């Protein structure tokens, strides 16, 4: 099952997409990665969906990546005696640790860590930023605030604290239990919420013990401020624009998105652009023109993946949403301007042998009649380096490791194929030629480029390139050994 575009699609599963038929339809429509949102659903629900994905993978013979998205700490106000209250602009409103029911003058905020970090002048945002408070006076158990933007406040609405680094771990007790559950279940990626510093990533990596790759969600200003260190500690990134747009001025989000995507590409680490991409399709079979332009912008930027959240998890048109995203991607990637933009954003510095090898592979493929670049890799390193080059020709990632094939499903342009173990580069070339023919990328008369790291099994040793025919008889005839 060959995709006709390079960017990947992440589809969130939920009540609208929890049975075999729907999940299979999502995959056939274009979903490459399925997201299991640990904020919703029991472990039993998550386990059932995981089992369905693996069954579809078996039935269709294609690797599928599974991303488990951990909830992270949720900061919420307490409850009100009347269920809700109206806060007027300019009035005073108090947050404290008292568990008594709230009224128009105060409510509980059961997070002492917030009070420890607040200072006079700090901002507090309630209900996705619809209500804005500014701290006048604060102590270890209270914050006296002025209402800057008023509105209706009700039970257990979320609270954002944009301008301070909170002394909270990215992993709550629930997250730790969820992490262990999904790692035992067998997921490929772990998405961490509330990442503020690289130590948050290191904690999750220690708990995961190599059982899943770590993807950091950038959804707080502190995550943006410490992004370079977070990127270095992570295996991938999600630009979670919804929360970023609450905690930062909305006009700041597009340039931040562009910067983060470019840095991820330079580091050869996959980046997902997420939230509110086709939100109107929760209720409508057609997206807005602005939403289509938003998806297209992420594709032009060179993101590895775009993500559907409620559109596929709880919407009325989950399959149509994936089809729309797929069609937009195909159209954008066929635009000559897309190639111009991608080429212009390619880094020019080649520092290592591996950098030079993959750059040469792309240049050879694009200047001659090469049908595909085939990357043989146990860990995926060779493949992601080729993907960083964003070549025009298809990339076939061959690996004997099923987990590697699944993880690479998130990376730009990868058509992942599991193959047998090899000990010699000649064997890798033969396997690559077979895969190119079998998967419909080339015929026996065509040529491919094959890259690998020798000796096999050592990460980061990309050091060999060969232009090879796709007919095995010719491979043996032209083998120098």
Active site residues: 35, 76, 217, 275
| Range 55-60 contact pairs with CB under 8 angstroms and sequence separation of 24 or more | 55/20, 56/20, 56/23, 56/24, 56/27, 59/24, 60/1, 60/24, 60/27
Integer Cα distance of 29 and 325 in angstroms:
9
Integer Cα distance of 375 and 386 in angstroms:
8
Contact 405, 420 (CB under 8 A): no
The helix, strand and coil proportions of the chain, stated in percent and rounded to the nearest 5, come to: 40, 25, 35
Q: State the greatest distance between any 2 C-alpha atoms of the chain, in Å, as a whole number.
A: 85
Residues 6+ apart with CB under 8 A from 130: 149, 151
Integer Cα distance of 371 and 448 in angstroms:
6
Integer Cα distance of 160 and 142 in angstroms:
16
Give the bridge partners for 142, in sequence order: 96, 139
Contact 464, 357 (CB under 8 A): yes
Contact 273, 261 (CB under 8 A): yes
Give the bridge partners for 126, in sequence order: 131, 159
Contact 66, 189 (CB under 8 A): yes
Q: Residue 101 gets which letter from DSSP?
A: P
């Amino acid at each position: 099952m060959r995709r006709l575009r390079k960017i990947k699609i992440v589809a969130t599963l939920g009540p609208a997409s929890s049975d075999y038929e729907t999940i299979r339809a999502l995959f056939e429509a274009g979903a490459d990665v399925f997201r299991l949102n640990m904020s919703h659903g029991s472990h039993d629900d998550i386990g059932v969906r995981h089992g369905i994905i693996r069954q579809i993978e078996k039935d269709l013979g294609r690797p599928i990546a599974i991303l488990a998205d951990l909830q992270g700490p949720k900061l919420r106000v307490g409850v009100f005696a009347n269920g809700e209250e109206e806060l007027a602009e300019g009035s005073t409103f108090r947050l404290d640790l008292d568990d008594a029911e709230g009224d128009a003058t105060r409510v509980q905020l059961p997070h002492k860590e917030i009070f420890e970090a607040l200072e006079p002048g700090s901002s507090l945002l309630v209900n996705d930023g619809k209500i804005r408070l500014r701290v006048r006076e604060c102590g270890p158990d209270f914050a006296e605030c002025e209402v800057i933007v008023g509105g209706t406040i009700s039970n257990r609405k979320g609270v954002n604290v944009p301008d301070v680094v909170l002394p909270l771990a990215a992993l709550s007790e629930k997250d730790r239990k969820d992490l262990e559950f999904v790692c035992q279940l067998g997921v490929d990626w772990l998405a961490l919420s509330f990442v503020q510093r690289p130590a948050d990533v290191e904690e999750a990596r220690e708990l995961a013990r190599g059982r899943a790759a770590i993807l950091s969600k950038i959804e707080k200003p502190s995550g943006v401020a410490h992004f370079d260190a977070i990127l270095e500690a992570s295996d991938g990134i999600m630009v979670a624009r919804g929360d970023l747009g609450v905690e930062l001025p909305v006009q700041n989000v597009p340039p931040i998105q562009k910067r983060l995507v470019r840095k991820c590409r330079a580091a050869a680490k996959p980046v997902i652009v997420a939230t509110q991409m086709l939100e109107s399709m929760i209720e409508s079979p057609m997206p807005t023109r602005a939403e289509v332009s938003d998806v297209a912008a992420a594709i032009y930027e060179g993101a590895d993946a775009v993500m559907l959240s409620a559109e596929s998890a709880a919407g009325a048109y989950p399959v149509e949403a994936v089809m729309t995203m797929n069609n937009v991607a195909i159209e954008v990637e066929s635009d000559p301007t897309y190639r111009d933009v991608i080429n212009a954003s390619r880094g020019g510095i080649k520092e290592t042998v591996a950098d030079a090898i993959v750059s040469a592979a792309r240049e050879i493929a694009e200047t001659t009649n090469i049908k595909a670049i085939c990357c043989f890799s146990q860990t995926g390193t060779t493949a992601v380096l080729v993907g960083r080059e964003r070549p025009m020709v298809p990339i076939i990632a061959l690996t004997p490791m099923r987990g590697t094939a699944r993880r690479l499903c998130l990376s730009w342009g990868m058509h992942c194929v599991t193959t047998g173990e090899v000990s010699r580069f000649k064997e890798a070339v033969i396997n690559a030629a077979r895969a190119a023919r079998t998967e419909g990328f080339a015929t026996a008369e065509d040529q491919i480029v094959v890259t690998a790291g020798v000796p096999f099994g050592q990460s980061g040793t990309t050091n060999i390139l060969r232009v090879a025919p796709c007919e095995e008889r010719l491979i043996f005839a032209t083998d120098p050994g």
